Amino acid sequence: QLQLQESGPGLVKPSETLSLTCTVSGGSISSSSYYWGWIRQPPGKGLEWIGSIYYSGSTYYNPSLKSRVTISVDTSKNQFSLKLSSVTAADTAVYYCARELATKVLIVFDYWGQGTLVTVSS
Amino acid sequence: EIVMTQSPATLSVSPGERATLSCRASQSVSSNLAWYQQKPGQAPRLLIYGASTRATGIPARFSGSGSGTEFTLTISSLQSEDFAVYYCQQYNNWPPALTFGGGTKVEIK
């Protein structure tokens, strides 16, 4: 059974960089037809897609966050990571990593991590 | 950016009754629409993709319909475990700019 687990600091200071890692177990991050994505959810609010990466390193990002986001992959560790720079209180959210089933006709998130709360505060 | 609008924000339904949730896209997304269910403290779960295809393991009481800009998720007979928040998500265009709706909370009446 595929499992994803987010890890990283739960508290980040304003203007600093938020860094999270997602570890994939029970399957290979190098599987074809799958991207790997990050989605966030501010407390009590809806879902916002941040960006996605293929095992080759190909990425695509939410245009509204693109200037601050970097997603990378480490196939040797079966992990992918998120960096979000210049954070403010508005970036406080539960951050989820997820497997993205991506074909020419389908882009959906079929496996999710449990999520990790990141609070931006001094 | 394609904006997804869900209605109503909250739906009060009695167990055993039918629930009908709506999702509207600001421009056509063809049938490139998915639905997710999220329970408190849990990650979302994929229910429907391609507007009407149930994901693996999803009960038949969940059904999706629509195309273009208007979509519907129907839960034919609500069970206790169905009370949750439901989100739609579009995946039109390439490179995709994936967007979610604001969610509909289905609560016990």
Residues B35-81 have pLDDT tens digits of 999 999 999 999 999 999 999 999 999 999 999 999 999 999 999 99
Q: Binning pLDDT at 50, 70 and 90, where does residue B95 land?
A: confident
Interface test with B, best of A47, A62, A65, A105 (most B CBs within 10 A): A47
Of B36, B45, B96, the CB nearest to A107: B96
**Predicted pLDDT at B29:** 93
Of A105, A107, A115, the CB nearest to B43: A115
Distance CA(A106)–CA(B47), nearest Å, equals 14
Distance CA(B82)–CA(A16), nearest Å, equals 40
Q: Binning pLDDT at 50, 70 and 90, where does residue B93 land?
A: confident
Give the minimum alpha-carbon distance from B93 to chain A in angstroms, rounded to a whole number: 10
Chain B residue closest to A65 (CA)? B97
Question: B75-91 burial, b for 16+ CB within 10 Å, e for fewer?
Answer: beebeeebbbbbbbbbb
Across the interface, whether the CB atoms of B44 and A108 are under 8 A apart is answered no
**Predicted pLDDT at B109:** 87
Considering chain A, what percentage of its residues have pLDDT values greater than 70? 100
**Which parts of chain A register pLDDT below 70?**
none
Instruction: Output DSSP code: residue B84.
Output: S
